[in-house]
Structure 1
Amino acid sequence: MTALLPEGFRDTLPPFADAAAAVEARALAAAASHGYERADPPLAEFADGLGSRLKDGGLRNAVRFVDPVSQRTLAIRPDLTAQIARIAATRMAHHPRPVRLSYAGPVLKLRGDALNPAREARQIGAELIGLDSVAAAREVVTVAVDALEAAGASGISIDFTLPDLVDAMAGTLPVADVDALRERLDAKDAGGVATLAPAYLPLIAAAGPFPEALERLRAFDTHGILASRIAGLAEIVDSLGDRVQLTLDPTERHGFEYQTWLGFSLFVRGVDREVGRGGTYRIVREDGTEEMATGFSLYADVLVGTTTPERRRLFLPYGAPAAEGARMRAAGWVTVAALEAGDTPEAQLCTHILDRGEARLLGG
């Protein structure tokens, strides 16, 4: 017997597992309060079908195996969004638009990376499918913030981007190699941008705190090509008020390869990397037509972070009446009953003890 696990996998122990489950439940409840109903797709699908809905190259990071029943290749999902898109486009194609769906479940990647070596995670999210409007995007961003707040996060910040910016501008400001320009802008490589298309250089400076960055983006857009996107961003930000800190990086592309006019990354205080991301994208229906969708994903294990969640456990001394325990549980307490005369609250990691019918803080 050995406790060794494969690279990229780990056990989640108490109280972290309980905390992650609570984060998931609260985030889903916040989405449900906005009308997002939960869908629960299977852990694995036929690889060719799943691959057709993942972003370019997404199946390369999927664990695949041959199904002994069908003798076809299956893939374990590396991302849940593609499965929600499939459900909306097939099983719920008849449903009036927009469709509001939420989800939560495990995802598995073939390999991690240097910044995030974990290969397994629990993904939580919500998708609004069948409507492409600022109002739809505004709602999804609001739901994401509500979900983070419900999960107990504080110091929330959002970094917005415009993933299709270069494509939108290319007709007016021609560039020989669009893909190379996207890469150089994403890397903030001023020298590379100057070589490829110097007219795009102001975009590197159009990043930072939202109000200033948006004004620089307006100044760059002398032809009005981005006017609707800029107006949409401003409307979304106005709806958030002072709930979150806001930044803009209009040329950020990493992780937003399949988003259209809007993308956003979510951060919270105390976590050194993003806790989620979202944006607008296209899905393909069974008849081959496309429809727009907007959504976001969060990761419960990242939200829990590295700090130990607070325990609040009430120790019931040996022989305490069962009715007393039931009364305290009804009042919201987690009770841990002594099953032997020598049991102690410290051994059971309790914070309180039942003393003459009341909860008394240990050490207080």
Structure 2
Amino acid sequence: MDDTRPRSLEHPLPAGMRDLLPEEAASRRALSRSILARFAAFGFRLVTPPAFELADVVERGLGAHALADVLRFIEPESGEVAVLRPDMTPQIARIVATRLRDHPPPYRIAYEGTVVRRRAGRAKKHRQIPQVGVELCGVPDGGADLELLEVAADALRSVGLARFTIDVSDAGIVRELVTGANVTDARAEALTSALAKKDEARLAEAARGLAFERELCALPRLHGGRDALASAVAILAASPAGPAARRLLDLFDAAALRGLGAHLSADAGEVRGFAYYTGTIFSIYADGPGEPIGGGGRYDELLSRFGAPMPAVGLGLDLDALGWALREAGGPLPSRDGVVIVGAHDDARAHELRARGVATVAVSAREQALAYARAWSFALVWDGESVLDLRSDPENPSTTAAVDAVAALRVLEDGSR
């Protein structure tokens, strides 16, 4: 039988799932570690929630829009319905409300993990989403929102992403106008759908004759920089959305004073998650992915669903989307490290390098050692007399004399600076 299928299709993965091979896995791990280190610098403590939980626990912490993303199954031991986590925020809320309830607030929690979402159409390519993030619980004022904007910018800069935009909005603007208009659910859906697409004609039709018609119809134009926000404050001042607009402008100004002005934009008519978030919402964009590389917002009602009412704000970063943005920005090539020793039985040299924390393998012949180092992203090939350095050009490595482990290590350290 002549089977000409690509080898990658011999054992296909479910839609939206993918493997990471060593080089990509190492790059993602380095990215995650760098960001988590910056989270730690702001005092956020890492927790590790489980990969799945009982459905009634996780789903109480999800917005209605997210319930369709949940992958459910029957947990064999209990017979209860369980879910693969589609979002880590409900898990952090549960941990804060139960496992950490004896700790004094505020709670600064960091996390790392993969979420899995049930998606259809083109979005099913992104069912598996590796994330890092933080949740700040127990701080009621805008200082917490500002802190997370600073944390996000610091983390992105630390991994070499210089160009990004944080688009801020406030869920209270749309929610207060729609609620104040006292409309049916169907009319509310028509309004928010038109706002989401910034379709002014459909919005005018949906808002015709309503209270706050003028304010609703102005929202699609109230996006951009500070001037757009100042206009929003003026237009919405006499409406129920006035306080939310003022709050958003205050946050924008405070963030600009902290050096984030070049990265900020605002949208007074944002409707994403307005039924879930209670205040600030933000999305982070960069060239490349065509979708947010991160985002978050304030959800002051979530913790009460777990028996511990308190204000909270969160931030999540999509490591795949962020990696794409870094590649688009011309970020550093995946790093090579470690040493391949020529001589399969030279345990003394290998032992000395490993004792110094250097990944080391031994291969019997020089050409095989060089091929192995190229394929598996090792930095150096060392034959006991000289070192071949593959980091700048794996096909044409440079050569440096090195007769002992100290000399080989010096080459490794000099090249990593």
Settle same-fold status: TM greater than 0.5. Answer: yes
SS of alignment partner, residue 370 of structure 2: coil
Shift of residue 102, structure 1, vs aligned partner: 0.5
CA distance in 1 between partners of 2:257 and 2:361 (Å): 48
Q: Does 1:162 align with 2:170?
A: yes
CA distance in 2 between partners of 1:74 and 1:264 (Å): 30
User: 2:255 corresponds to which residue?
Assistant: 236
SS of alignment partner, residue 310 of structure 2: strand
The structure showing larger relative contact order (alpha-carbon pairs under 8 Å, at least 6 residues apart) is: 1
Shift of residue 319, structure 1, vs aligned partner: 6.2
Q: Does 1:203 align with 2:219?
A: yes
The residue identity in structure 1 corresponding to 2:304 is: R
1:165-212: per-residue Cα shift (whole Å, max 9, x none)? Answer: 12234577776744432222222111122223341222211112x223
* Partners of 2:137 and 2:312 within 8 A in 1: yes
The residue identity in structure 2 corresponding to 1:261 is: G
User: 1:215 corresponds to which residue?
Assistant: 230
Higher helix share: 2
- Number of equivalenced pairs: 362
Q: Structure 1 residues 158 and 113, CA, compared in 2 at 3 Å: closer, same or farther?
A: farther
Bigger shift: residues 259-268 or 224-233: 224-233
Shift of residue 234, structure 1, vs aligned partner: 1.9
Shift of residue 52, structure 1, vs aligned partner: 0.8
User: 2:319 corresponds to which residue?
Assistant: 300
Q: Structure 1 residues 21 and 113, CA, compared in 2 at 3 Å: closer, same or farther?
A: farther
User: 1:59 corresponds to which residue?
Assistant: 67
* Partners of 1:154 and 1:268 within 8 A in 2: no
CA distance in 2 between partners of 1:249 and 1:108 (Å): 29
**What is the aligned counterpart of 2:196 among 181, 186, 191?**
186
> Which structure 2 residues correspond to residues 250-265 of structure 1 after superposition, within 5 A?
250-255=268-273, 257-265=275-283
The residue identity in structure 2 corresponding to 1:221 is: L
Q: Structure 1 residues 330 and 137, CA, compared in 2 at 3 Å: closer, same or farther?
A: farther
Bigger shift: residues 326-335 or 281-290: 326-335
Q: Does 1:310 align with 2:326?
A: no
Shift of residue 216, structure 1, vs aligned partner: 2.4
Q: Does 1:99 align with 2:107?
A: yes
Higher strand share: 1
Identity of aligned residues (%): 29
User: 1:284 corresponds to which residue?
Assistant: 303
Bigger shift: residues 260-269 or 165-174: 165-174
The residue identity in structure 1 corresponding to 2:159 is: A
Shift of residue 265, structure 1, vs aligned partner: 0.7
The residue identity in structure 2 corresponding to 1:159 is: D
User: 2:373 corresponds to which residue?
Assistant: 348
The residue identity in structure 1 corresponding to 2:255 is: I
> Which structure 2 residues correspond to residues 31-50 of structure 1 after superposition, within 5 A?
31-50=39-58
Shift of residue 330, structure 1, vs aligned partner: 7.8
* Partners of 1:37 and 1:100 within 8 A in 2: yes
Q: Structure 1 residues 302 and 229, CA, compared in 2 at 3 Å: closer, same or farther?
A: closer
CA distance in 1 between partners of 2:25 and 2:357 (Å): 20
Q: Structure 1 residues 178 and 272, CA, compared in 2 at 3 Å: closer, same or farther?
A: closer
* Partners of 1:63 and 1:76 within 8 A in 2: yes
* Partners of 2:60 and 2:305 within 8 A in 1: no
> Which structure 2 residues correspond to residues 95-174 of structure 1 after superposition, within 5 A?
95-115=103-123, 117-169=125-177
Per the normalisation by structure 2, the TM-score is 0.77
- Point out where structure 2 has 5 or more consecutive residues left out of the alignment: 1-8, 208-212, 391-395, 399-417
Shift of residue 295, structure 1, vs aligned partner: 0.9
Q: CA RMSD in A?
A: 2.9
